[in-house]
Structures are given as C-alpha cells and as structure tokens.
Amino acid sequence: MRFTYAETMVDPTYYVPLARAAEEAGYTSMVVADSVAYPKDSDAKYPYTPDGSREFLENKPFVEAFVVTAAMAAVTTTLRFTPFVLKLPIRPPVLVAKQAASIAAMSGNRLGLGVGISPWPDDFDMMGVPFEHRGARMDECIDIVRGLTGGGYFEFHGKFYDIAPLKINPVPTAPIPILIGGHSEPALRRAAQRGDGWMHAGGDPAELDRLLDRLTVLRAEYGTREDFEVHVISLDGFTVDGVKRLADRGVTDVIVGFRYPYTTEVDTEPLDTKIANLSRFAEKVIAKIGN
C-alpha cells in the first residue's frame, strides 16, 4: 500500500516545506488541487459537498497545478506528485502534454497525471471551450497527452482536435500514468477503458464500496492492466486494520489529509502543526504497513 498526503488551499509558502516533510516521513506521493479561477456569479453546484455549495473556494489560494508541482519536485527526490484532478478538457491538450512531459522528465518520472472533467460550465466558458460533448473531448485529450508524452512524432485526427505530426522534447523515460477522477458511470468506464488508474474523491463509505465493485466489473470488461492504480479517500485509511481492508478491495493508494477543506473560513493552521500531523500519521500507520 502507498500513502498520499493531501493539503490544499493553504498559504502558498507552505507547499515546499510540506513536500519535504511528507517525503521524509515516508509518504509515496502528494496530491495537488486544480482551480483556474472563481467566477463572481454562478449557480453551478459542487458534487462533493453535502449541499452542493462551492463557496468554500472563494478567496482561497490556488497556485497553478503544474507550477506548484514543479516547485515541490525541485526540493524532493522520491516524492511523487499527482494533480487531483486536472480539469483536462478545458485546456489545450498539446500544452498539457508539454507541461506534464517537462515536469516528469525533470523530476525523474515522479508525475502521475490525475485528470477529470470539470462539473462547472463556468470553467469551460472562461477558457473558451464548449461545455457540450465534454466527455468526448476529454477522451481525445487523454489520447493526445498520452501520444505526445510517449516520444517521437505523433498525429491526431479527431472530432475536436486535428493535429499534424509533431513531437515534444524532452519526454520522460517512462510513461506518465494517467489517472481518471470521478464517480459517475462514464468516469468509471473511462478509467477502466483508457486510464492507468482511478481517483476517488471521498464520500459515503457505502458508496465507495459500490464504486469499487463497479470498477472491478468494468476492468474485467475492458481487460484493464493488472498494475491499474486505485486511489481512495476513506476513514479506513487512518488505521492499520482499515488500510488492510482497503488493500483487500484492490486499493493501491490511500489519500489522507488532516483537516476538513470544504469550509469558507481561511486556513489558519500553522505549518508546524501540519507537519506534526502528517508525521504522527506516518509513525502510527505508514511505519506499520510499509510500502
């Protein structure tokens, strides 16, 4: 079992020391949140809060995902970084491929590319991308990013993108794992069919069991690779016995955080407290489980 540290919407100066502390404590990876901008007026809902509210995002610091990943990768040597999740179809896929390949190449293959479809039309509007057919656009983006980051000339001719043969340089020496986020049926199917893994966003434990069961069925249907990654957020992840239960369900990576992020209040927890929390968990759970 691998362990991932989650922290977001904090003082931007905290990320570098937190990454160093997580690596030293024995975490395998750290997730990076993605948000481009917050619209002043919107009636869109957030799917992972009980009431659909997304006001907790307003006035919160979000360093651009690839920028903060590069900063943390530069001061670590083993820690892996995974956007959780990058809103892929609102971005130009060739640019995403260039950014991801550059970070992976410079960090020694320490990037896992978590991607998803934003649930908000606002994100598409602000980036000048149609909200319609976003799922099909997402599929093309995945194919383009995977093709370009693999090295050599690559061309693509789809419904949304038409790319003449081109290549980017540098590229990593190993494929970048593309991990699909989302709880919907299309997201699970996309993960099993196109992804190297799936990322769970938290919620009811009973719902997690249902999602894992469905993912198992879809993986069998598509003949998904055996080293498929399954990243989950679960209360079971905070005890040794709970982690063992998750491992029995095929979970490969447990994501843990030590505060509730969906609050409108600005985070005032000191850096020392955050480091103490992640270190305490490492002593009580990671050290007893091993990677």
* Strand extents, DSSP E, 77-192: 80-83, 86-87, 113-116, 154-157, 162-166, 178-181
Looking at residue 156, its amino acid is F
Provide the pLDDT confidence category of residue 261 given band limits of 50, 70 and 90.
confident
Q: To the nearest whole number, what is the mean pLDDT of the chain?
A: 95
What sign for the dihedral angle of Cα 240, 21, 32, 266? Answer: positive
The contacts found for 132-138 with CB under 8 angstroms, 24 or more apart, are 133/159, 133/160, 134/89, 135/186, 135/190, 136/160, 137/89, 138/88, 138/89, 138/190
pLDDT, mean of residues 270-285: 98
Could you tell me which of 121, 115, 145, 147 has the C-alpha nearest to residue 133? 121
Q: What is the pLDDT of residue 290?
A: 63
**For residue 177, what is the domain's CATH number?**
3.20.20.30
Looking at residue 177, its amino acid is P
pLDDT, mean of residues 212-236: 95
Residue ranges making up the domain that contains 67:
2-289
Q: Provide the token pair at 74.
A: 């530069």
Q: Provide the token pair at 275.
A: 């480091």
Q: Position of tokens 């383009």?
A: 144
- Express each pLDDT in 64-96 by its tens digit: 999 999 999 999 999 999 999 999 999 999 999
- Express each pLDDT in 19-60 by its tens digit: 999 999 999 999 999 999 999 888 888 777 777 788 888 999
Q: Provide the token pair at 108.
A: 């020694």
Q: What is the pLDDT of residue 136?
A: 98
Distance CA 156, CA 55 (A): 39
Q: What is the pLDDT of residue 48?
A: 72
- Express each pLDDT in 173-218 by its tens digit: 999 999 999 999 999 999 999 999 999 999 888 999 999 999 999 9
- The CB density around residue 143, as the number of other CB atoms within 10 Å, is 17
Q: What is the pLDDT of residue 178?
A: 98
- Express each pLDDT in 113-163 by its tens digit: 999 999 899 999 999 999 999 999 999 999 999 999 999 999 999 999 999
Q: Which residues contact 103 (CB under 8 A, 6 or more apart)?
A: 66, 69, 70, 73, 81, 111
Specify the number of domains making up the chain. Answer: 1
